[in-house]
Structures are given as structure tokens and as C-alpha cells.
Amino acid sequence: MTVRLAHIGIAVRSIVDARVFYEEVLGLEVKKIEEIASEGVRVALLPFPGGEIELLEALDPETPVGRFLAKHGEGLHHVSFDVPDVRKAILAGIEHGVETVGEAPRRGAEGREIAFFHPLFTHGVLVEVAGPRNDAPASQPQEQN
């Protein structure tokens, strides 16, 4: 299984405030800001060679990122890896007693299938796995043509 860093998710109180550091100091650029209503977040993506910074702003205090901010303040929220097959990763997790958080798989930014592994089972880091970019509806059988 080929795995690459997809992004580093950072919980911030305000994307407007937080982007200044990444843009003005690190020289990155916000390529996209997207609201993911189902996750209760606004996301800003700042790509760099080999990965992206994903700034996460809660749309409401009663969301996973809102609760994270209330409990921990701003900071590293999750690390995301590109995997060829999210479902396969979930199954490998199950095999090793590694539990996911929330619905798995589900739809994340850019129409990608994602899943989160709970930090209790990953040595303290919320780990996201993200499948290939896909704006089409959920997985279709491959022998369809």
C-alpha cells in the first residue's frame, strides 16, 4: 500500500487570522476555502510540495473541531495520509483493534472518501486516511464499462 502525506490539519479560531502566518511567513498560498457542512467546518487548503496545510475553523462550537478548540485551544488536530483504498485501511484497522471515529468511510473535502482513526489507538494522533479525489457519487463497481 503506497501512502503519502496528504495534509496536516490544524484547528484554528479564525482562518482569516491564521492564514497570515502560513502565507506571509512560510510563503504558502490558500488555494481553496471550502465549507464542509456535514463536518461543521470551514477548511482552507495551502499546498506545498508533498502535502498541504489544512486550516480548520469550526462553523459552530458544537462540532468536533469546535469542541476540540474549547478543550485544547488551537493546534495540531490531525494528520492525513493519501491511501489508495480507504475501505481497505479501515479493514486493516479493524483487524488490529484500531477504532475509527464517526462514520467510516465518509465524504470529505474534494469529494474524497475519508476515515479517522481514534487517537486512543494511534499513539495519540488523530489519523485521517483519504482516498483518491473523486467528484462522482460513491464507489461504483469497476467492471462497469
Separation between Cα atoms, residue 119 and residue 39, nearest integer Å: 18
Q: Is 39 in the site for Co ion (CB under 5 A)?
A: no
What's the min distance (Å) between Cβ of 43 and Co ion? 8
What's the min distance (Å) between Cβ of 139 and Co ion? 20
Residue 120 CB: number of other CB atoms within 10 A?
11
Q: Is 123 exposed, middle or buried (0-12, 13-18, 19+ CB in 10 A)?
A: exposed
Nearer to Co ion among residue 5 and residue 94 (C-beta)? 5
Task: Convert residues 45-84 into a mask of x (bound to Co ion by CB under 5 A) and - (unbound).
Answer: -----------------------------------x----
What's the min distance (Å) between Cβ of 19 and Co ion? 17
What's the min distance (Å) between Cβ of 144 and Co ion? 29
Give the footprint of Co ion on this chain (CB under 5 A).
Answer: 9, 80, 128
